[in-house]
Structure 1
């Protein structure tokens, strides 16, 4: 059953073999592109592991017509867009999003780099060092280590156990044989018969088709290449595996080796993920979390081809005990048996409706990437085929924590510490499983009697709404936040089934609640949420401290640059100190914290009657409302540095320079300054200096504070050296003397246009509210931007160097 889609689309094949899909999205202000090559890492020559991934990187260096700053990457970045690429086992994807007016220019650059790439050896040698840095970073990535360990459980000889990431040793750029193989791979696979193109944008279908046809004209023609049939995934080795984790909470991975699956397997897995990740009362995930066995779960499909697949269920456990792993596994198989006997018809109808709503809510880039899966449709036969193979005999059981001893082995090109454990008979368990909640559950009986609380309001569709609330607490404790977050998960699960997304997050001193979705359900979800916040259940409070410590462990397993990004809001809010008091969460402590808490908010959309009902329920929200809004936290002047003791061999630095002049002209100047820096910073530190894989900069808002952010992570340079390189870059005033101001100004002005889609428009309004800006602030920025001169930029650059707004440095010690 396919989702009922809100976007007209067409699929067609062009004369030279290109397969195209066009999607008309009239309400979007941005366009998105997905180009898929029917070849990936399992199609590369065995003599040069990583060649397919390496070619993906090389193509972004540009082509014959567009090089240097005119390449696709800097062009999209200058437009305020997003882009990336991904090499999978049997496919390679290139995708980007940008303002719709620039779609044709983006396609021209994509075509140039694909059909006429610049593959000079000097550029290859530089990019090989980038790939080496990426390889070293991935050596500590948990998904990479998991997939490498799981490959040890497969039958020998499957390409999943081979090395495909590529590094300095495997990419013999200097050899003639490598250059021949690289050229052959490009000629064989980067031709129209191997490519599929999806265009999504507000342009008319006729215009989108014209763009697809023009793109195809520049490609060499060809036919689809014959694809080799992979060897069988099974028989499996049968033993369980234990993996030593570099950091993070204990994990359990239950991976199923599938075969002879129908073509729409991805759509069936999406439906399965929707089922198993349901958090409404009575669902599997809700019960496992409530019992304190589990904190989170994910569903991944790291490999699928020719009916084969490896489906991985990734459980974040509450503790390292074997008994906990056995309980979770037993509950899973009991739930699978329960769901396999269920009637799929009603569930598929409900899923189709929710999937269609979700597709509408996605940003263009995410929507174009999911389009083929979302429109493939899934039926009862496909679901039955999937569930029939989710059996213990197809299972690879992998668990891990940081206490596993193990033996160092190499698998799929990465080193892992593994130990084997004997296969054990499954533990039986019978649960009282349900999917979702009964009709009408969670609906408030009547509105409260209290006085209506009025929030700032912006118009929007009456059938949809968005409510944002923000509390500022003096010292409520992290454990209290995580206790409330846990207590709200069943409410969020039930809300999702009624078309409302609920998020409860923390940043610095603030806790934030977001409710967005169906207008009829939103007041009821607010009522249920306020009730839980006022009186959290004791079982959730009992887990608060453990959940807080588990989140610290989870973050410790992330890349160093991500850990610094996590720490930045706290550093700004707490004046540079990252010390948190860890105390048990109790209902009494939470209630006491609410008495001192102040809160503000924003409401977008809804009819007048619905806004009145929301206002009445807001009177039940804990804390003291602040009609005038909460100001951004004050920042001490000067330079501040915080060194974090992070595990691992790589170093990272983060530099955040808060906006010095908060006028429209001041912010417009700093935004343009950020655009001038973005591409040169990336090019110099990543490509020319080859410091590392993770390098970025830009204008960001952190905890309501706008400013310039610079970040870099390196496997070779120390933190002090990285700071020196960042400072040397910023000291170079020649960048501003040669920056193409008119082009950057036009692109920045375009990016400041108000979003068209409701979710983005509501989120954008909330960002303005948090920064203390009026709703017409983007228009004021555009007016100020039009009058800026190069002298204004040079003055802003001097203010930046003088740390006029402050200077916050976070480093990995």
Structure 2
């Protein structure tokens, strides 16, 4: 049952006006979670802009999102990427704030972040900022929709940034697969068209032409009546309302009509069809897509989401469990696809083994065996009620999201759902209607299918234009359709049973009398009476949820013994996760998650969710850890997956690969090549030996946090030790320290990466681990990140991926400058970085105390960001336990150090950073080929002209 909150109560005196001739507008009730203490009110401005106001007096961050119900589907046929290009251009100056970098600089220097995205049917702009700085930020943000400049200078310049964004993903298999899949779609449907844009589609050969089309698109579609705005702030609703009216009322309302997509995504005469697509990474997958009636009118019964839950299930009797037993698959996902006005779709994706790729028709047959059973059996009311209960529990104890994510989600909900259900629509299951389910499941049939195979080696005969992906499209033979239509019953395949992990007791336990103030909450150590075992516990009802986190880790010197130990621990964690997958999936559906993973110092387990069954899951995991079923078939499958992950790491984005290599060097980790060599010949016997060695000498650290008492935490730890017997515990946690770079030397590493883009990371290392140095580096990062982006991205257009970021390694602070570029060589990038650092050094000496204090306020806001969910606080405690900072006051220490920094301290620490540098770089294949061709012709490679700002 949903609790309804009347969020705007009119005074009684006002109600008397009902009897007069005055026309009144009453705010609708908005259903919100009982765990949500914020106040909501919706208003419609005079220009017909719908606004949702959220007052949260306790928030440290304000956040805003504007959603426009227009996206890349509206691109003119001869201007692919125009909607996306417009999204970029809105950030580059307005009449009131003409400086192209002003908005970013303001947000960054006031503890905030910002971004935007262009989807097929909507475009969304969003930001967050320190709560006290909302009004000035709104003034800047609103101008995007009132008076953007669209200056000719940046119109021509920014299209290079869009091209860089396109180029950065040109070897991304996800983009390549989607681009090939588009070739099978109805060419009249907008989803079939290239949407990102590049220099070709956004050509600007005729001066002013591109800008004119940009203006036309903006004036046609960016109308107030098609916009939805959410403002979340600490101010009362009435004050937020005044801000909304002051800043957004002058957005023009052209009464733009709703943009509708009426064409089907696939032509019926073309179905069924099969498409084969080659991948760059060593992966194999099979997908099945089915056009269905529009799902949107049935959002209260959610038939496609229910099918996703049943078909995507991974427990006993599931399709994935059967495919794993046969050695054909490693993963399966089912979900609703695109949702348009006239139709929707249902999508199933299966990750295959090499054997599975040879049995795709058998896999499709098993899929339809399950679907045919579902058609006959239907969805029982008991299962539906369980799904409804799980959704109700999730909404009842809804965790507070980061404001920036929350407002972005809500603006999109405002486009899709009635006002009363803007908050709870995703969680509603109100109508058990077998007729609706039957109507939708009839669409999941072989003759209404797009069957897609993706792997490295497939027969293809065509090449997609923008991403160069090779593919083949062909009809599906009638005999295959007949076979799948007649797919019979399978003994080991059935609709899931009721979930044993559903929480039955969801009460907040009474707090102990000695509970301290929230600001000083920290775990206390409970004596376990055993060497090498430490238990930290905090009963915490701050978030008002009957949930807990129970984390434990096994730390062992074994983990630092090189590549063989790293490979073995990774395989051990993967083997346990695979063995427990059926149970973990049930637990996850019931709101109880578990993650088992290896790391530099050993192996860890994190269990989170409703505390009612948390001890059951902890015991099951511990028992499996100590007595795993080391079956050869499971080992072969897990090892093959791990080998593929290592191989595919060579296909990651260039800057991601540079970060990996930097970590290998600085953290003394095994290299990718070493891991690949060990994994190629790793045996089950080696794994068994490693597991036994792990338990011969290990340190156990446990953290219990949330709705668990100290007695329960102690009991769970005792049970954990019992399940892990025989384990020999001792204080043997290995120390992991970062490499200290030699002052005055620049360490350089060049990688040969197969990608068109070049990439460079300049890593600057702090001189020591003191809080003063850590604070200084954090503050310097805060000061330089916005101008670095503006200078190298906006002004010099070196690439789409340009950023500066803190890069701490354990407690050693550092800073990384990152650029990935389709046009600039590593040498040019490095020169630009060094030029920036030189100019920044000069700017640093001119900062006044007021400016420095503003940056201090900004970085302190990030360090002390409000913890909105139990797990956020747990993760902070867990990190401090890992780093032996068990006073749990590192935030306070760092804040204190930052507040004491002077300009001279910053100058000194910046100089120290410049003395410890490491450069990681790769040359883009496209740049190398272009350079070679130019050299053969004795022509110098031209550098694009950059107009002065």
Is the shorter-chain TM-score for this pair beyond 0.5, marking a shared fold?
Answer: yes
Instruction: Kindly state the Cα deviation for residue 548 of structure 1 after the two structures are TM-superposed.
Output: 0.7
CA 1:391–1:451 in 2, change beyond 3 Å: closer, same or farther? farther
Q: Deviations over 1:221-275 (max 9, x none)?
A: 3424242443222213433111111224112222222344334569655555444
What secondary structure sits across from 1:456 in the alignment? strand
Equivalent in the alignment of 1:466 = 549
**Residue 901 of structure 2 corresponds to residue 788 of structure 1:** yes
Q: Mean Cα displacement is larger for which, 297-306 or 42-51?
A: 297-306
In the alignment, is the contact (CA less than 8 A) between 1:155 and 1:237 conserved in 2? no
Whole-Å separation in 1 of the counterparts to 2:449 and 2:470: 21
Equivalent in the alignment of 1:600 = 701
Instruction: Kindly state the Cα deviation for residue 56 of structure 1 after the two structures are TM-superposed.
Output: 0.2
Q: Match for 2:83 among 52, 55, 59?
A: 52
Q: Mean Cα displacement is larger for which, 738-747 or 703-712?
A: 703-712
**Residue 44 of structure 2 corresponds to residue 13 of structure 1:** yes
In the alignment, is the contact (CA less than 8 A) between 1:467 and 1:603 conserved in 2? yes
Alignment of 1:276-675 (within 5 A): 276-299=311-334, 303-319=338-354, 321-340=356-375, 341-343=378-380, 345-353=384-392, 355-356=394-395, 359-360=398-399, 362-371=401-410, 372=413, 375-376=424-425, 377-378=428-429, 379-380=431-432, 385-410=439-464, 413-423=466-476, 424-425=480-481, 426-427=483-484, 428=487, 430=490, 431-435=492-496, 438-439=499-500, 453-461=533-541, 463-472=546-555, 473-474=559-560, 475-477=565-567, 478-539=570-631, 540-575=634-669, 577-578=671-672, 579-580=674-675, 581-582=678-679, 583-586=682-685, 588-595=688-695, 596-605=697-706, 606-619=708-721, 620-621=723-724, 631-638=735-742, 641-675=748-782
In the alignment, is the contact (CA less than 8 A) between 2:877 and 2:888 conserved in 1? yes
CA 1:303–1:496 in 2, change beyond 3 Å: closer, same or farther? closer
Instruction: Kindly state the Cα deviation for residue 291 of structure 1 after the two structures are TM-superposed.
Output: 4.2
CA 1:770–1:529 in 2, change beyond 3 Å: closer, same or farther? same
Q: Deviations over 1:169-210 (max 9, x none)?
A: 111344444322211221222221110112345554444444
Q: Deviations over 1:674-715 (max 9, x none)?
A: 112211222222222222111222124456654323322122
In the alignment, is the contact (CA less than 8 A) between 2:324 and 2:330 conserved in 1? yes
CA 1:613–1:807 in 2, change beyond 3 Å: closer, same or farther? farther
Equivalent in the alignment of 1:752 = 863
CA 1:172–1:420 in 2, change beyond 3 Å: closer, same or farther? closer
What secondary structure sits across from 2:845 in the alignment? helix
TM-score normalised over the length of structure 2: 0.77
In the alignment, is the contact (CA less than 8 A) between 1:576 and 1:640 conserved in 2? no
**Residue 225 of structure 2 corresponds to residue 164 of structure 1:** no
What secondary structure sits across from 1:520 in the alignment? helix
CA 1:106–1:589 in 2, change beyond 3 Å: closer, same or farther? farther
CA 1:63–1:662 in 2, change beyond 3 Å: closer, same or farther? same
Unaligned runs of 5+ in 2: 3-30, 417-422, 505-527, 925-949
User: Larger Cα Rg: Structure 1 or Structure 2?
Assistant: 2
Equivalent in the alignment of 1:232 = 264
Whole-Å separation in 2 of the counterparts to 1:186 and 1:268: 37
Q: Match for 1:76 among 98, 107, 112?
A: 107
Q: Deviations over 1:66-123 (max 9, x none)?
A: 3548643333333443332111112111123333333333322221222221211111
Instruction: Kindly state the Cα deviation for residue 671 of structure 1 after the two structures are TM-superposed.
Output: 0.4
In the alignment, is the contact (CA less than 8 A) between 1:491 and 1:529 conserved in 2? no
Instruction: Kindly state the Cα deviation for residue 719 of structure 1 after the two structures are TM-superposed.
Output: 3.9
In the alignment, is the contact (CA less than 8 A) between 1:600 and 1:629 conserved in 2? no
**Residue 228 of structure 2 corresponds to residue 190 of structure 1:** no
Alignment of 1:686-765 (within 5 A): 686-702=793-809, 706-732=813-839, 733-738=841-846, 740-753=851-864, 755-757=866-868, 758-765=870-877
Whole-Å separation in 2 of the counterparts to 1:384 and 1:111: 47
In the alignment, is the contact (CA less than 8 A) between 1:479 and 1:547 conserved in 2? no
What secondary structure sits across from 1:538 in the alignment? coil
Whole-Å separation in 2 of the counterparts to 1:572 and 1:487: 34
CA 1:438–1:492 in 2, change beyond 3 Å: closer, same or farther? closer
Instruction: Kindly state the Cα deviation for residue 566 of structure 1 after the two structures are TM-superposed.
Output: 4.7
Whole-Å separation in 2 of the counterparts to 1:209 and 1:625: 60
Q: Mean Cα displacement is larger for which, 667-676 or 703-712?
A: 703-712
Q: Deviations over 1:273-298 (max 9, x none)?
A: 44444444444444434543223344
Instruction: Kindly state the Cα deviation for residue 338 of structure 1 after the two structures are TM-superposed.
Output: 4.1
Aligned residues: CA RMSD = 3.3
What secondary structure sits across from 1:15 in the alignment? coil
In the alignment, is the contact (CA less than 8 A) between 2:286 and 2:452 conserved in 1? yes
TM-score normalised over the length of structure 1: 0.90
In the alignment, is the contact (CA less than 8 A) between 1:669 and 1:796 conserved in 2? yes
